[in-house]
Structures are given as structure tokens and as C-alpha cells.
Structure 1
Amino acid sequence: MDPTIPVLVVAGAGLLLALRIPVGFSLLLAGAVGFAATRGVESALKTLGARLFDIGSGYSLSAVPLFLLMGHMAIASGVTDDMFRAARSLVGHIRGSLVLATTMAAVGFAACSGSTTSTTAIFGKVALPEMMKANIDRRLAAGCIATVGTLAGMIPPSVVLIVFGIIAQESIPRLFIAGIIPGLLTALAFGLMIYVRVLRQPELAPPLPPATKPEKIAAIKNIWAAVLLAVIVIGGIYAGIFTPTEAGAMGAAGAFLIALFRGNLSWKILGNVFLETAKTTSVIFIIMVGALIFTSFLAVSGTSHAITEAIVGMEVHPHVLMILYLILMLILGLFIDPISVMFLTVPIFLPALTKLGFDAIWIGVLVTKALEIGLITPPVGLNAFVLKSVAPNFSFGEIYRGIWWFLQVEFIVLAIIFAFPVLSLFLPNLMYGG
């Protein structure tokens, strides 16, 4: 094939993205034009139809809307408020107070929601007002809320890890379990940073009066249902009892029953839950269709194979290539959402990296962590915009200055995960059938 056509197609996709055309439509148009130019319009239409069918009939893809539904249903059931109150009663009296409590609660909620933006938005509504009442430093509070939402990108059930598994054709259960230790390590590092900062500057987060024993017991009792739900879903996947799709269905049904039992459901709330789930799912699937058309063209044109061979043939240490790929992830993550970045890069670079001997599960964790960092890094930082939308009285300057400390921690954790692959691979290798 004339190499000019693939070059023009890739350049055209880049131009469309630069013009701020939605990623899914940019890739779809570029890929379709590439097929039409090389194989004719009829072939391009057939390919488009086949890919649409693949997406609509893919069993593994059904896990995405189910876990999104689980997260939105969990929000409707009020588990976020319960987790925050429980965390506040347990750690609100120590250095870091509500900032530590928010981090702890975010870990619990991440196990019920795979969406980073949803986690940021809900804690912006639940925790931020309480922080302001407790005289927490505005920048520290904003940085915490914007950053802890990224924990949902690593701790299962993570939608980002599901999508990576679909693209890479890797085991989604193994990816889920691989994210547990890195996710908990990130939360622990956040907590340590918060504690040390407040130890040096106590005025940043004044401690609250200690909760009484009855208050602690009551707060912990209220989270039993959500904890049980997370344990069943993640434990079922780890033990090989559920597939990700079955676990998503169990989680969504469980969250529905919790909301129903608590009397938090109405027809209006239920309608909003399904509407928000449908909106998010539609965006993800549109990106999937466009990216699959685009990457299919790169594959049939020989571009993907040429890139793979070029990378493998480079006289550079494999770890240097891995670092360069992560840097690319960090740069693209500044401007493009994580799922789009994965569809753009994983099909091209993953074959080369695995051919060099790297484990695809470990790569998935590293890519997810790098894209988490992009969610909180200026000039875009999607989570900062989400927080701004629910807390308009905060300036972007306050939010980004607050994020800075958490961003340093994220880079340190990324380096640790890179240096010690066992942190990502230990639990998956213990799994049933792993």
C-alpha cells in the first residue's frame, strides 16, 4: 500500500482532534476515509457495519454499563454520605481530620463506582461543604476532592481497566485484581502526605472533637450494606465465581436493593440514574466505534505492524521505551480523556511492549496510573473542571495549587509501581485460574 495514505489519515485524525471535534467522530471519520481511499466506499461501509455489530454484540462490553449503573445507583442509595460519616467518626479527631476522612471514604466508594468524574462530583457535594465548616484550608480541601476521585480509576470495578482489557484482549478479572494494591498504595501515600503536611502546619486542617463510641458504632453500622456489596463483587471476581459482566449485574442489583430498602428511590431518581448511565455509556461506545475503525485501518494498511517492528528494533533498553510510552500517556492525558487515549495508543504500542517481554497486566496498571495523573494535571485536568462545576466559588488557581501536593505523590507512586511490578502482579497470580 502507498505509505502516503496512512500518513494522511493519521494527520487528518490529528487535525480533527486539534479542531476539537469529539474523539470518537474524529477517529471514525479518519478511519472510514482511509478504508474508502484504499478499498472503496463499499468496503468502508461494510467495515463500519461489522464494527458496530461487534460493539453491540460484545458480551464483555456489557460490563461497562452495568458497573456504571452500579455506581450511579450507589450514589442514589446514599452510601457516599454514610462512608464519609463513618470515616469522619474514625479519623476526624487526628491530624488531617476531614481530609483524611475524605480519602478513606473515597477508597470505599471507589469499590462501588468505576467512574473517576462521578466520584469527584459526589465528594465535591458531600465532603467539601463539611470541610469548609471545619475551617480546612481551601486549597488542601479542593486538591483532596479533585484527586481522590482518581482512586476509582484504579480500584475495581474500574471502567478504565475494563476498557483496557477489551482493547488489549486481556483478562478483565486479572486487571481488576491487579489494581487493588496500587490503588490502596496510592490512598496510603495520600494519607501519609496529608498527615505530614498537617503535622508541620496544623492550621491547614484543625482536628474535630473525638466521636463518642456510640457515634462510631452507629456510623459503622450504616456502611455494612455497601461494604458487603463491594466484597461480594470484588471477592466474586477474585474467586472466579463471577465474570465481570455477572459481577456488574450483581453490583447494580445490590445497589438497587440498598436504595430501595433505605427508601431513597423514586421514579424520578430511578429515571435520572438510568439516564446518566446511558449518557456515559453512549460516549464510551461512540469512542470505541471510532477507535476500532481507525485502528483497523492502521492494521490492514500495515502501519501498526511497521510501528511495532520499528519499536522492537530500536537499540534502546526496553525500560527506556516503557518510560517514553508513559511520558506519551502523561502528555496526551493533559488534553484527552483516558479512554480516548487508550484507544489511540494501546493497539499500536502494546504489541511492541509485550514483544519486548513486559507483562500486559502490569502495563495496564501503569497506563491507568499515568492517565489518572492526566486527570488532575493542568492545563486541562478534567477532575478540576468537574470540581469547579459543583463548587463554583472555588477558583481554578485554588484547585490547581491544592492538587500540586497530591500530584507529586502520584508521580512517586507511579515510579514505585514501575520499579516493582510485583505490586501489580502478586494478587492476579494468586487468582483462581491465574
Structure 2
Amino acid sequence: MMALLMFVVVLALLMVGIPVAFVFGTVSIFFAFFIPEIGLEIFSTLPFRIYGIMSNTTLIAVPLFIAMGLVLEKSLMAEKLLVAMSSAFRTLRGGLAVSVVLVGAMLAASTGVVSASVVMMSVIALPLMLRAGYDKSLASGTIAASGTLGQIIPPSIILIILGDVMSVSVGELFIGAVLPGLLLVLLYIIYILIFSYLKPEVAPVAKDVKEVTFKEIMTAVTPPMLLMVSVLGTIFAGIASPTESAAFGVIGAFLLSYFNKSLNYEMIKYASLESVKLSGMIFMILIGATAFSLVFNELGGSDLILEFFSQDIGDVWFFIAVAMLSIFILGFFIDFIEISFIIVPILLPVMNAFGIDPLWFAILIALNLQASFLTPPFGLSLFFLKGVAGDSIKTLEIYKGIIPFILLQLLALILVMIFPDLVFAFV
């Protein structure tokens, strides 16, 4: 009961808005201090665990991929990509929205940073779609959903975190996420084309889009494709580890920025400082979560959950359904990083008891967590989009626009649950 109380207190404080790392640490110390059989001595092993986190070679990829995404954010690559793809699909009804999805997928495979992708797409694509006469809800939903593709399409920060938390090879996670990611892109495009056909007024043919030559299209598409192939290709081929490929990706991003004539001191300063901030936040949360797990497990929380699912329930699909539903609902209120460090470790003993493949389960979690960027009231993509759009789009219009895409994400999740070969096809 004390373990459950501890869990509820943490969730309540997170929903109030108190910083995550402080919630984990404070609640852990409070419960350890006031429960005599635990005591503060339990934290004597914490420094060794923190040292293990800081020396984890897999987690080194996190700040590197963040830096790569931030450099590309300022490299003007996204703008050239969107202009090229918009021109290629300009004669197709809904083509501008389709081009946004495809550019979102390319940015996801190049950066892996959702915030950067959503902001870039909002700044560049939103004015273009509104000028073309697109329905505001469709435009905002397409941009927000396309920007979140970086959650599932590698190189994804959440896949790296899940790989570490669940002790799964990050390289295999990247390979396993390829088909689910492409499935999601395909579902987005099919929905846009069908919706545009049924309601032509929501997505007019963008006749005023600037026409560009095939050479200009290839010039815009080739650099990010080369970066994507060089980073992911070396991982998939087993030539380099994710961390080594991330380092190579940072160099590639700087080279792209140099050739686009956007490399300068201000850009380097911005990318460096933001990388330190975001990486520091993630590692502080991880340290706090480690303290939380020490006390929570000592109170018997993991044993209680394991007993409930494996003995009282005893059904693997019931466990998967409850796990996915819990993660989806929590995504309305707390961040994907918090869910990864609080909920996932609690589910691991049950997953192992049922013999569930951790690679497949990790991809299911990643697909589920992607929805947390879109679900109100705290969906980060919605905040980024609204911040850029200002008064041009109402919050209600954004909420209306993202609902179909959330449903498509849930459909993709169900399809991957039913057809596990979507994960294991290339692994």
C-alpha cells in the first residue's frame, strides 16, 4: 500500500507542474525517511548507479542526436525540402498536406528531435497551407502529427531511452521501428487523400506554389537523404554503434549547414547551449527516477504489480491492453520521458514473466508515447504549433485537427500488436 501511495503522490505532483527530477528525488527521500524499515541508508548505492548512468555509452547518443537535430533546425534544410516537395505535389488535391507529411518523415529520419521538427514545420508550412486555402484544422493537425514522427522513425531519442531502460539493443530498436514508422506515414497520407477527395474545400489544389525543376528537387532532397543513409545505414549494417553514428551525424549536420551557408557562431552557440539544457534535463530526470525506483522496489511495488498480473489475472493480452491504455491516458498529463522512467520499469518484471519480446513491446510503447505529443491538454506539439501560429489559429481548431491523427496512431499501434512481423521483418 505504501508503494502505491508513493506512486500516486508522484503522479499528483507531476500533474501539478512541479519539475520532474525534483518530484522523484523529494518523494523518494520523504518516504525513505518516514518509513523506518527503509531509512535513508538505501541511498548509499545511489552514487554507484549515477556513475553507471553517466558512463553508459548508449546514453551518450542522446546529446549527440539532440545536437544534430538543433544544427539541422538552423540549416535551412527544412525550408528547401518543403518548397521542393510542395512543388512536386502541387497538382494533387491535398498535395500540400501530403508534402508536409513526407517532409516531416524526412526531418524525423534526419533529426529525431520532435520539438525542432514541429517548430520548423509550423514556421514554414503553416503560412503556405493557409494561403492556399486549407482548412485550419486539417493544416494544424497535419503539421503537428507530421512533426511527431521523430518519436518513432529512427534516430529517435525515445528509442534510445527505451533501449537503455529495457536493456534492448538500440540498433535493433531502430531497425524494428522502420516499418511501423512507414506504416504511420502511409496512414497519414491515405487519410489526407481520402478526406480531401470527400471534402474538396478543405484542401484546394495549391496552384500558386512555385514550380521548381527536377534538379532543384533533387538538390533539396539529396543532402538529408545522404545524412539519413549515412547515420542509419551504418547502424543497420552493423558498421557503427548508435553512439558512433550519432557523432558522425553531428559532423554531417555541420557540413550541411556549412554548404547551406547557415553555419555561424550564433548557430553553434544556440545548438550547443540547447543541447546541454535538453540533455541535462533528461539525465536529471533519469537520476531522480533511479532514486524513485530504489525506494519503490524496496517497498514491494514491483512485486505487487507482478503478482497482480501474473497470478490474479494471468492473461498476457489483458496485461498488454492495460499497459497500453495506462500509457496512453498518462500521456494526456505527463511527458514521455517521465513515462519512460516511471511506468516502463514497473512493467518490465511482468513483461519478463509473460515472456513478451522486449523489442516488440518497446516499439508498442514508442508508438503509444508518440500520441502523448498530440493529446491535450499538455501535448507539447500543440504548444509549439500554437506558439508559432499565434492568433491565426484557435486552440479549438488545433484540437479538432489532431483527433483523426491520434486515431490513426492508435490504429497503427493495434496493427503492430496484431502483426508483430512489422517489427521483426528486418531484425
Q: Aligned ranges for residues 6-85 of structure 1 at < 5 Å?
A: 6-36=3-33, 37=35, 38-44=37-43, 46-85=44-83
Distance 1:227-1:413 versus aligned 2 partners, 3 A rule: same
Q: Is the 8 A contact 2:302 2:349 kept in 1?
A: no
**What is the deviation of 1:8?**
4.5
Q: Give the letter for the 2:23 counterpart.
A: S
* Rounded Cα–Cα distance in structure 2 between residues aligned with 1:18 and 1:194: 34
**What is the deviation of 1:419?**
0.8
Q: Give the letter for the 2:64 counterpart.
A: L
* Rounded Cα–Cα distance in structure 2 between residues aligned with 1:410 and 1:82: 28
Q: Give the letter for the 1:425 counterpart.
A: F
**What is the deviation of 1:214?**
6.0
Picking from 352, 376, 379, the partner of 1:378 is: 376
Which residue is 2:350 aligned to?
352
* Rounded Cα–Cα distance in structure 1 between residues aligned with 2:208 and 2:129: 16
Which residue is 2:167 aligned to?
169
Aligned residues: 424
Q: Does 1:390 align with 2:377?
A: no
- Structure 1 runs not aligned, ≥5 long: 429-434
**What is the deviation of 1:78?**
1.6
* Rounded Cα–Cα distance in structure 2 between residues aligned with 1:187 and 1:320: 29
Q: Does 1:287 align with 2:282?
A: no
Which residue is 1:245 aligned to?
243
Distance 1:314-1:427 versus aligned 2 partners, 3 A rule: farther
* 1:264 alignment partner, SS class: coil
Which residue is 1:234 aligned to?
232
Q: Give the letter for the 2:408 counterpart.
A: V
**What is the deviation of 1:351?**
2.1
Q: Aligned ranges for residues 178-189 of structure 1 at < 5 Å?
A: 178-189=176-187
* Rounded Cα–Cα distance in structure 1 between residues aligned with 2:372 and 2:40: 38
**What is the deviation of 1:96?**
0.7
* 1:60 alignment partner, SS class: coil
Q: Is the 8 A contact 1:107 1:151 kept in 2?
A: yes
Distance 1:237-1:33 versus aligned 2 partners, 3 A rule: same
What's the TM-score, normalizing by structure 1? 0.93
**What is the deviation of 1:155?**
0.3
**What is the deviation of 1:307?**
1.9
* Rounded Cα–Cα distance in structure 1 between residues aligned with 2:297 and 2:7: 13
**What is the deviation of 1:144?**
0.7
**What is the deviation of 1:79?**
1.5
* Rounded Cα–Cα distance in structure 2 between residues aligned with 1:7 and 1:212: 59
Q: Single out whichever of 303-312 and 381-390 deviates more from structure 2.
A: 303-312
Q: CA offsets per residue over residues 194-227 of structure 1, 9 Å max, x none? A: 0001111112111134989961321222221211
**What is the deviation of 1:100?**
0.6
Which residue is 2:253 aligned to?
255
Q: Is the 8 A contact 1:89 1:210 kept in 2?
A: no
Q: Is the 8 A contact 2:21 2:289 kept in 1?
A: yes
* Rounded Cα–Cα distance in structure 1 between residues aligned with 2:42 and 2:403: 50
Which residue is 1:432 aligned to?
none
**What is the deviation of 1:42?**
4.9
* 2:59 alignment partner, SS class: helix
* Rounded Cα–Cα distance in structure 1 between residues aligned with 2:381 and 2:312: 37
Which residue is 1:423 aligned to?
422
* Rounded Cα–Cα distance in structure 1 between residues aligned with 2:128 and 2:5: 53
Which residue is 1:296 aligned to?
294
* Rounded Cα–Cα distance in structure 2 between residues aligned with 1:143 and 1:247: 32
**What is the deviation of 1:373?**
1.4
Distance 1:11-1:211 versus aligned 2 partners, 3 A rule: closer
Which residue is 2:198 aligned to?
200
Distance 1:293-1:257 versus aligned 2 partners, 3 A rule: same
Q: Is the 8 A contact 2:140 2:402 kept in 1?
A: yes
**What is the deviation of 1:39?**
4.6
Q: Single out whichever of 52-61 and 251-260 deviates more from structure 2.
A: 52-61
Q: Give the letter for the 2:409 counterpart.
A: E
Q: Aligned ranges for residues 392-411 of structure 1 at < 5 Å?
A: 392-393=390-391, 394-411=393-410
Q: Single out whichever of 375-384 and 212-221 deviates more from structure 2.
A: 212-221
**What is the deviation of 1:7?**
4.4
Q: Give the letter for the 2:378 counterpart.
A: V
Q: Is the 8 A contact 1:10 1:30 kept in 2?
A: no
* Rounded Cα–Cα distance in structure 2 between residues aligned with 1:212 and 1:146: 24
**What is the deviation of 1:89?**
2.1
* Rounded Cα–Cα distance in structure 2 between residues aligned with 1:306 and 1:49: 27
- Structure 2 runs not aligned, ≥5 long: none
* Rounded Cα–Cα distance in structure 2 between residues aligned with 1:315 and 1:201: 47
Q: Is the 8 A contact 1:47 1:293 kept in 2?
A: no
**What is the deviation of 1:354?**
2.9
Distance 1:209-1:217 versus aligned 2 partners, 3 A rule: farther
**What is the deviation of 1:11?**
4.0
Q: Give the letter for the 1:10 counterpart.
A: F
Q: Give the letter for the 2:26 counterpart.
A: L
Q: Is the 8 A contact 2:32 2:38 kept in 1?
A: yes
* 2:74 alignment partner, SS class: helix
